Structure 1
């Protein structure tokens, strides 16, 4: 049933991630809210999955039944509606931006890094091949697993993130799409990418680049080449959008938000600007022109840090890891040490 609701009403790029294992659900006959219990909050993953006209009713029911609901990673209309329905004790603030590429627009405005990466990709025999995850044989599955393990060992956040990033699964429901990255004369598989769909009137209006992972390689600019290649293919299919996911604590917009909470988030944006993981996300996604819709959170707590800690608990990323990175050097992209993209990251 939830798959059907996502196909019918999953217009938000994060909608498909609400189907990942391990989440809890507040369900009604007309929709659901996905959430994770973390540090005393019911932390939602994006907006309600339901028809637009049912959002207020679903939010109101969740506010009444949930245990300290905290609406996380929602767009402005949902944030303001949730704050209104929650009453005076609920506070709202921006928290960062998504990067969404319009595939109906020309490629003008892309960074020189993207053009350079595509030239190197051609010389390096780079290719992107779509596969059905369920059709992978045992050897191909072992290859994907080895790539995942190697990636996590070198990642700037060396844990399998969940919640805002949907962990890899090789189950095939016909909605998510998987691509293998190959290079060289022998077309050796050295990475993979996963696209999650989001919908409008039952048809894919775009895809979220949920995962991109690869082993160390001499080929420079793999992320740029993959995004440009996937964007070109989706454009040929008539797909309007490609979302590169979330850049947390970047471009925070606090207009119309709760002043005290907004000041705290702005302080966090300045304080964590140098964290390698966050800086790398900004650098990669800023290489592509596109829209930057703001994401918001709505909380019953007066402290922004409680939302951050709840989010990190839900993702499995230790807070100490971000603090440690405040003092580390930036890794090189060619070594495969990319942060997660989604939605986030």
Structure 2
């Protein structure tokens, strides 16, 4: 009998639960280490709960199940909760999960674990704006200063909807806000969410909403999940807001800042568990699909901060899950 079977046998009495919202929040604060853990509490999510262990957040579209992020539980229980979830949803797709989750799903159930993009984490205690590679940031900050831009943290909205609606009209996807991969701007649950606004001549011209990332009931990082800029003022707003917020978090003693998903920022080599054909297709979408989403622009912006880059994966049962990806694009409102 393998060690893993012994581990699962130890938890054979674990039952699928039906957590209250406050119970899920407790698991989030204990185990919400993933950059999308907070987003698992966005409206429209379904949940798979295991009492005493944690939960998995997912959505459905066209008969497909899409899991968002790593399970919200202790890493040593990933195998257990994923096994129980797989029993109920053997054809589920997993989006933006870590290598450890991809390895479990590949080893135990034969799922492919194909790189979906990259994420970046910045060590705030080592952060500074110095260095040749951060010249773009310094230039943007200098331009913002010349334009009279100031940044303040606010705990109430300031022309948020007005800025957001004008901003959306300038995007590739103009009809709706993206959801699932990016949680909605308005959520009922907002605990420890941080809002920073940029002002010009006393008027709000941009903002970033930061979501907390937890470990053992402490905030260990923030991630900028919602960012908007006035259609009339674009240059330097994001960098200026980010630089200000990072200094605030650094002074508070927050260890890290995560920048979240950089979709389709992929490495060239193909790992053993990846679907080679799908990865080639994703490379092609990155090169030719900017009419769908500004993949290259987002990569350029986030990589200017020079954080530690690591891979994030999607897990799937088919070699080329075309219908599943189409359903996911509809779910996220990209199409």
TM-based fold match above 0.5? yes
Alignment partner, residue 196 of structure 1: 211
Instruction: For 1:175-214, list aligned pairs within 5 A.
Output: 175-184=192-201, 187-214=202-229
Shift of 1:297: 1.4
**1:192-216 residue CA offsets vs partner (Å, 9 max, x unmatched):** 2100111122111111100110212
Mapping 1:120-159, distance limit 5 Å: 120-133=143-156, 136=157, 140=158, 143-158=159-174, 159=176
CA distance in 2, matches of 1:206, 1:54: 22
Per-residue deviation, residues 241-276 of structure 1 (Å, max 9, x unmatched): 1122211111236553335x1332134213432433
Structure 2 unaligned spans of 5+: 1-22
Q: Distance in 2 between matches of 1:233 and 1:304?
A: 43
The answer to whether residue 39 in structure 2 is matched with residue 23 in structure 1 is no
2:284 aligned residue (245, 251, 270): 270
Matched, 1:94 2:115: yes
- State the partner residue of 1:296: 313
Mapping of residues 1-345 of structure 1, within 5 Å: 1-29=23-51, 30-66=53-89, 68-86=91-109, 88=110, 90-107=111-128, 108-109=130-131, 110-133=133-156, 136=157, 140=158, 143-158=159-174, 159-169=176-186, 171=188, 173-184=190-201, 187-218=202-233, 220-252=235-267, 255-258=270-273, 261-276=275-290, 277-318=294-335
Change in 2 beyond 3 A, CA 1:67/1:82 = closer
- Deviates most, 239-248 or 265-274: 265-274
User: Which SS does the other structure have where 1:85 is aligned?
Assistant: helix
Residue-pair matches, total: 306
Partners of 1:253 and 1:78 lie apart in 2 by 21
Q: Note closer, same or farther for the CA distance 1:106–1:146 as it changes in structure 2 (3 Å cut).
A: closer
Task: Find the aligned partners of 1:46 and 1:112 in 2 and give their Cα distance.
Answer: 33
Displacement over 4 Å in runs of 4+: none
- Would the aligned equivalents of 1:94 and 1:254 in 2 still touch at CA under 8 Å? no
Q: In the superposition, relative to structure 1, how do residues 171 and 65 fare at CA in structure 2: closer, same or farther (>3 Å)?
A: closer
Deviations 1:156-195 (A, max 9, x none): 22221000101111646432111222122xx211222100
The answer on whether the counterparts of 1:24 and 1:35 sit within 8 Å (CA) in structure 2 is: yes
* Structure 2: distance between partners of 1:178 and 1:150: 19
**Cα 1:191/1:291, change in 2 over 3 Å:** same
- Which residue number in structure 2 is paired with residue 322 of structure 1? none
Distance across 2 between alignment mates of 1:160 and 1:242? 24
CA deviations 1:51-110 (Å, max 9, x no partner) are: 222211110010001252112110101110122222x3x222112101222212132344
What is the SS of the residue equivalent to 1:162? coil
**TM-score calculated relative to the size of structure 2:** 0.85
The CA distance in 1 between the partners of 2:177 and 2:192, in whole Å, is 22
Alpha-carbon distance, 1:233 to partner: 1.5
